[in-house]
């Protein structure tokens, strides 16, 4: 999936067409279908002595997925005015990435510093970059959300969330 996005990103400098994305997604689902078929054949898609084998049902699912993807692929390649036009403009795609990339960093950071600290930093950074808020507004908002979360999950509902060094420091 992530490799797809990289190629998408490069094409967006010229504005990627709906047709290209349509073809990319149809190819992606087609390949998934092939994977499903192959794996079903591996575990056995036929009939054992005691009934259908593990791959019996998914095998057909894979076949139908391939046929449906091929159909979309065919339409995208050879017909349809609906596929013309720009899928996403360069400017809009940058906006989308400006949310997605920080979200990815946020999720990765959660592994190391726990979800509470990561959330505070994420909300703060987001407000700073996108909203151009002053620190007097960023700090209260970005701190109050994790604190509320902490009270709700750890204290009230007793659901443990990923924690990092800071939480260990204060005894959690």
Partner 1 sequence: MEEFSNLMQGFSVALTFHNLMFMFIGILLGVLIGVLPGLGGANGVAILLPLTFTMSPTSAIIMLSCIYWGALFGGAITSILFNIPGEPWSVATTFDGHPMAKAGRAGEALTTAFTSSFVGALIAVIVITFLAPLVAKFSLQFGPPEFFAVQLLTFCSFVGLGKGHPAKTIAAMMLGFALAAVGLDTVTGMLRMTFGTGELLRGFNFLIAVIGLFGIGEILLTMEEGLAFKGVHARINPRVVLQTWAQLPKYWLTAIRGTLIGCWMGITPGGATPASFMSYGIAKRFSKDGEKFGTGQMEGVVAPETAAHAAGTSALLPMLTLGIPGSPTAAVLLGGLLIWGLQPGPLLFVEQKDFVWGLIASMYLGNIVGLIIVLTTVPWWAAILRVPFSIIAPIIIVVCAIGAYTVNNAMLDVALMLVFGIIGYLFKKLDYPLAPLVLALVLGDMAESSFRQSMLLSRGEVSIFWSNGLVGGICGLAMLMLFWPVISKLLARLRRGNNDLDEARPVE
To the nearest whole angstrom, how small is the minimum distance from the Cβ of residue 170 to partner 1?
19
Q: Does 160 bind partner 1 (CB under 8 A)?
A: yes
Q: In angstroms, what CA-CA distances link 4 with 8, 23, 110, 121?
A: 6, 12, 25, 29
Which tokens hold the place of 92? Answer: 């809009």
Signed CA dihedral, 112, 116, 117, 123: sign only: positive
What per-residue string of b and e applies to 56-68 under the rule 16 or more CB within 10 Å gives b? bebbeebbebbee
H helix or E strand, kind and range, residue 146? helix 135-150
Q: How many residues does the chain have?
A: 172
From residue 30 to residue 69, the character string flagging contacts with partner 1 as x (rule: CB under 8 A) and all else as - is: --xx-xx--xx--xx--x---xxxxxxxx--xx-xx--xx
Options 9-17, 154-162, 163-171: segment touching partner 1 (CB under 8 A): 154-162
Residues in region 76-115 near partner 1 by CB under 8 A = 87-88, 92-93, 95-96, 98-100, 103-104, 106-107, 110-111, 115
> How far apart, in whole angstroms, are the C-alpha atoms of residue 33 and residue 25?
12
Chain residues in the site for partner 1 (CB under 8 A):
1, 5, 18, 21-22, 25-26, 29, 32-33, 35-36, 39-40, 43-44, 47, 51-58, 61-62, 64-65, 68-69, 71-72, 75, 87-88, 92-93, 95-96, 98-100, 103-104, 106-107, 110-111, 115, 119, 122-123, 126-127, 130-131, 133, 141, 145, 149, 153, 157, 159-162
């Amino acid at each position: 999936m992530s490799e797809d996005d990289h190629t998408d990103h490069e094409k967006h400098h010229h504005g990627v067409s709906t047709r290209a994305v349509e073809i990319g997604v149809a190819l992606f689902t087609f390949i998934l279908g092939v994977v499903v078929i192959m794996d079903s054949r591996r575990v056995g898609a036929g009939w054992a002595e005691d009934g259908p084998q593990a791959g019996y049902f998914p095998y057909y699912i894979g076949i139908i997925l391939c046929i449906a993807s091929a159909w979309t692929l065919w339409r995208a390649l050879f017909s349809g005015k609906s596929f013309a036009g720009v899928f996403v403009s360069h400017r809009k795609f940058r906006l989308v990435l400006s949310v997605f990339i920080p979200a990815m960093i946020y999720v990765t950071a959660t592994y190391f510093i726990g979800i509470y600290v990561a959330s505070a930093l994420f909300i703060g950074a987001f407000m700073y970059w996108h909203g151009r808020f002053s620190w007097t507004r960023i700090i209260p908002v970005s701190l109050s959300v994790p604190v509320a979360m902490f009270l709700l999950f750890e204290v009230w509902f007793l659901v443990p969330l990923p924690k990092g060094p800071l939480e260990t420091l204060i005894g959690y």
